[in-house]
Amino acid sequence: MTAETTKRPAVTKGEITVGFFGIASSVAGRRRLQLQTDEAVTLAELKQLIVGCLGTEIAGVLEVSRFAAGENILDPSAVVEPGWSIVVLPPVSGG
């Protein structure tokens, strides 16, 4: 088991856990979503699954957000495996 694997929260095999922060949490209406899948999905497919569960309002937020697993920002071509915990990191601005 790698150090990266041990840092991930425990999730049920066959699920991808998605955490939302900032505006993503507000638009989603929740901080967490459990998606059932027994197969790996691309990041694009993951976005489609999220929109399918939460509605089209979240789509715009997902398009401008980054995704991370553990301490790693995912490349847009990343493949997400069942059992992973992913977070949606929307852009922020400050003053």
Domains in the chain (CATH in brackets) are 12-89 (3.10.20.30)
pLDDT at 6: 38
DSSP category for residue 76: T
CA pair distance 7, 1, nearest whole angstrom? 11
Which comes out higher in pLDDT, residue 37 or 5?
A: 37
Sheet of strand 72-73: strand arrangement:
32-36, 15-20, 85-89, 66-69, 72-73
Query: Is the distance from CB of 88 to CB of 65 less than 8 angstroms?
Result: yes
Note the pLDDT of residue 8: 47
pLDDT of 4 higher than 50: no
The per-residue pLDDT of the chain, averaged, comes to 87
The model's confidence at residue 11, banded by pLDDT at 50, 70 and 90, is low
* Band of pLDDT at residue 12, cut at 50, 70 and 90: low
Dist. CA 76–CA 37, nearest whole Å: 20
Instruction: Work out the average pLDDT over 14-23.
Output: 95
pTM of the complete model: 0.82
